[in-house]
Every structure is written in C-alpha cells, then in structure tokens.
C-alpha cells in the first residue's frame, strides 16, 4: 500500500457531515466507523476496496501507471 498516496481514517460523524458519504469511485455508501482513505492526488475519499484497487495501479509517486477507464469525475 502506498501510504503517501492515501490518508487512512475512520469515518466519523464529523467527516461524513463535511463531505459526501459515498465512495468517489464506486459510489458505495460510507458509514460511520468504516475505514476510509483520502486520495491525496485527487482529493476525495475512497472505500477500502477502491483504495486497494487504485493503489495497485500507482507508482511510488502516486501516479497512475496503468490505463484506466475515464469517467466524468476521473
């Protein structure tokens, strides 16, 4: 896991009140107590599963090294 690319946090009521309560990639709901990851390159929260998938695509400088499908918010 490329720790410099993501900041791991536990979803608190305060975090969920200030930001969206869905994962930025899969749009799955994030609940209080969930482990979430803040993507320091794209400035959004990811669920555990999406963070692991994205981490596999990144090099040590947090740059995507494999092509991924683009989207409206990517």
| pLDDT, tens digit, 9 for 90 and up, residues 27-74 | 999 999 999 999 998 899 999 999 999 999 888 888 888 655 555 555
Domains: count for the chain:
1
Range 31-39 contact pairs with CB under 8 angstroms and sequence separation of 24 or more: 34/10, 35/8, 35/9, 35/10, 35/11, 36/8, 36/9, 36/10, 36/11, 37/6, 37/7, 37/8, 37/9, 38/6, 38/7, 38/9, 39/5, 39/6
Please state the separation of Cα 2 from the chain's center in Å. 12
7 inside domain: yes
The answer as to whether 66 is a domain residue is no
Asked if 50 and 22 touch (Cβ cutoff 8 Å), the reply is no
**9 lies in a domain?**
yes
Domain containing residue 46: 3-57
Whole-number pLDDT of residue 71: 55
pTM, two decimals, is 0.77
Give pLDDT tens digits for 10-35. 999 999 988 888 999 999 999 999 99
């Amino acid at each position: 896991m490329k720790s410099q690319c993501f900041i791991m946090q536990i979803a608190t009521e305060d975090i969920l009140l200030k930001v969206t309560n869905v994962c930025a990639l899969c749009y799955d709901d994030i609940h209080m107590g969930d482990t979430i990851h803040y993507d320091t390159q794209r400035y959004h929260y990811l669920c555990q599963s999406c963070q692991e998938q994205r981490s596999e695509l990144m090099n040590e400088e947090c740059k995507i090294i494999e092509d991924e499908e683009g989207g409206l918010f990517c």
